[in-house]
Amino acid sequence: MKRRGLLAATAAAAAILPSRGWSAGEDIVAGQIGPFTGMPAPDAREVNQGIRAAFAQINAGGGVNGRRLALFELDDGYKDEGFVRQFAEAMKRRPVALLSPVGTRSIQRMLDEKLLDAADTLVLNAIPGAESLRSPGHPKLFHIRAGDRQQVERIIRHAVTLGMTQMAVLVQDVPIGKSQLAAAVKAAESLNVKLTTFTVAANAASLAEPAARAAATPSHSALVLGSPKFGADAIVALRKAGHAKSVYALSYVPPAMVMQAAEGASRGVALAQVFPNPNGSKMALQHRFQDAMKRAGVTGPYTVFHLEGYVNARVLAEGLRRTREAGAAGLARALRAMGDCDLGGYHVDFSRDNVGSSFVDIAVINGAGRLVY
């Protein structure tokens, strides 16, 4: 969504919502609605640990303008109707923001039913980065992570630099898979890469047959698109089908899930990453994050979802430091006005639109199931 449109829509929304100010000593409350159950990937739980570690670190340093940050979480069971139900419950607690909701269908339903329009809250860092959630988007929906389009483009560019111009694609027939495929087709056309696509039904009992066809295709590499579990299962199926070449996937695929499905299948798999290495040591952000996690009693190795939660909390705190208004409109204005926010080597900037970061790197899973980048 263009900045002018975002500002106009924000002003319109603010006009129908009463402004509220902070009460002395009042905690600043944020919420997390997510699939703490019902989803095979541990995204929500790990994001939650990162948020809580950051909140504890911030509170230990005096909070935000002298006020403590508090977090509550609600389980939507990875169902869009569960998200809608928990959204209504969350609004009773008056959160200034909802952090890192997970699920294309849930977030799309929130937009379709205009839940944010009537609520004095905003959403910071929706997962995943589907283009359907960003264009046209919503003035109170802020995305920290780079989107799926940027991840797919980076993957295809990386393949081209290695001389791989033919790619087999296994795509799950679900909205997120279709959206990612559209981005892949566009990027491939601009870079003269030939894609051979194999679509897999959402409820497919087995990936063996499409994986075998993909493995038999004359190609230099493979790309899997869809949900996290589908991505992991597709990688395993390709390896079992004899595909020993490079396999690419987006950031949502947990390396541990691939390792658990078939030992050794993850070796050499390349994943796009939208945050720095959570176990690295080159950035100040990594040191602060790891210190916060240790103090919170969470031992490593850490995942990118741990770091994503931590970054989410830090961005929220930076926005809150810049406003005295205890509402979504004031926080939204502060997020846009803060410009380039350097969190210790990782930059977030909402001054142009509601997407804060364009960071995408390519990580390779090693024999121990850890990301190297």
The answer to which of 23-37, 43-57, 58-72 has the lowest mean pLDDT is 23-37
How many separate domains does the chain show? 2
Q: What is the CATH number of the domain that holds 60?
A: 3.40.50.2300
Q: Are residues 102 and 87 in the same domain?
A: yes
Asked if 180 and 59 sit in the same domain, the reply is no
Residue 284 in domain: yes
Q: In this structure, are 157 and 8 located in the same domain?
A: no
Residue 356 lies in a domain: no
pLDDT at 66: 94
Q: Let me know whether 92 and 206 are in one domain.
A: no
- pLDDT for 24 equals 55
Is the overall model pTM greater than 0.95, yes or no? no
Q: Could you read off the pLDDT of 229-279 as tens digits, one per residue?
A: 899 999 999 999 999 899 999 999 888 787 777 666 787 899 999 999 999
What's the confidence (pLDDT) of residue 23?
58
pLDDT at 17 over 70: no
Q: Which domain holds residue 60?
A: 3-146+280-348
DSSP state of 17: S
Q: What is the largest CA-CA distance in the chain?
A: 67
Are 279 and 261 in contact, with CB atoms under 8 Å apart?
no
Q: Place 4 in a pLDDT band, splitting at 50, 70 and 90.
A: very low
Q: Which residue has the tokens 């810049």?
A: 322
Asked, for residue 360, whether it belongs to a domain, the answer is no
CA distance linking residue 320 with residue 302, whole number of Å: 27
Q: Residue 34, SS3? A: strand
Residues 116 and 181 in one domain: no
| Domain identity same for 156 and 255 | yes
The set of residues, in sequence order, having a beta carbon less than 8 Å from that of 63 and lying 6+ positions away, is: 28, 69
Q: Within this chain, do residues 10 and 138 fall inside the same structural domain, yes or no?
A: yes
Q: What sections of 192-225 are H helices per DSSP?
A: 208-216
Answer yes or no: do 258 and 343 share one domain: no
How do residues 297-340 score in pLDDT, each as one tens digit?
999 999 999 999 999 999 999 999 999 887 899 999 999 999 99
Q: Are residues 13 and 142 in the same domain?
A: yes
Terminal Cα distance for the chain, rounded? 32
The token duo for 313 is: 């909390």
